[in-house]
Amino acid sequence: MRAARLYGAGDLRVADEQEPAAGPGEELVRVTAVGICGSDLHWWDEAGIGDAVITRPLVLGHEAAGVIEAGPRRGTRVAIDPAITCGRCRPCLDGYRNLCLNIRFAGHGDQDGAMRELLAWPAGLLHPLPDSVTDTDGALLEPLGVAIHALDLGHVRLGARVAVVGCGPIGLLLIAVLRTAGARHIAAFEPLPHRREAALRYGADVCLRPDILPGDLRELVGEGADTVFEMAGTADAVTLSVAAARAGGRVVLGGIPADDRIAFGASTARRKGLTIAMVRRMNNTYGRAIALAAGGSFSLAPLVTDRFGLASAGPAFGIAAKRKGLKVVIEPAA
């Protein structure tokens, strides 16, 4: 079995390893598609993310799909939920499994991820895919789930005015989800031209550069958006999000800053009485994500702009880091 392991910043090596064996409650999965997430790029570029740092060579990858290799469900195509939770801590018992105090998350910390040919994973976290959802679509269900979770945190009502700051893959999926959920007007902000174009295709009413002038911002959002979703992970994006929200509105912060710091003008946020919510991965959204993908409300396929085999995992990360496309997918069997 081949696997791609990160040894340090920019040091990703593909090598042969012993095949894993499924333990109690697990099934062996042949991985067919793995998406490279922005958080994977933090690991690749910085050998860590936030306060988590690499302690041993780590297999990255948490956006994944595959086929069960053996047992009663042999041949079943599945999406792989990357979060192994304890089910015993207070957040788990309160229904917030994404906040589990003892979580093991694929491709993070000491838990190897899916960027390999074979993966042994808890059977309950392997979600069967309908025929209408491709393997690549299955890998994109994780970022779609994050977008759905962000929508939940945003308390978006039918007919709401919303804004999305940052139109990477999760921002684009969030735009599609907001349109499906009945948002009346979606304003998006993104510095890269090809992502601005993609935002319009995915349902934004308008997508502008984020260096918009205050007067132009007021003309665009009027008294402000009911909810603003920040998905860029930069200080300027957070500042713009606070500025674009209406008095009494909500700002949902989903971007991951490289310096592990988030700051905004307290006087503006306080004067507006804003509610600030933080996105931590997703919480029990796979069922809804699969239903949306299978129902054809929008297509996941256009997000994928580059595909690589596992042997080319290093170059794949280099391409993803340049952000010239949208989603880069690694196909271990290729």
pLDDT band at 304 (very low <50, low <70, confident <90, very high): very high
What is the pLDDT of the chain when averaged over all its residues?
A: 94
pLDDT of amino acid 334: 72
Please report the domains of the chain, with CATH numbers, ordered by start residue. 2-142+282-331 (3.90.180.10), 145-278 (3.40.50.720)
Q: How far apart are CA 6 and CA 317, in angstroms?
A: 11
Given a cut of 90, whether residue 327 has pLDDT beyond it is yes
Given a cut of 90, whether residue 88 has pLDDT beyond it is yes
CA neighbor of 212 nearest in space, from 194, 233, 196: 196
For 255-272, the pLDDT digits (tens) are: 988 888 999 889 999 999
Given a cut of 90, whether residue 173 has pLDDT beyond it is yes
Given a cut of 80, whether residue 130 has pLDDT beyond it is yes
pTM attached to this predicted model: 0.95
> C-alpha angle 141/306/288, rounded to 5°?
10
Range with lowest mean pLDDT among 22-26, 39-43, 271-275, 307-311: 39-43
**C-alpha to C-alpha distances, 275 to 76, 78, 265, nearest whole angstrom:** 43, 37, 14
For 153-163, the pLDDT digits (tens) are: 999 999 999 99
pLDDT band at 221 (very low <50, low <70, confident <90, very high): confident
Could you tell me what percentage of the chain is helix, strand and coil, using 3-state DSSP and rounding each to the nearest 5?
35, 30, 40
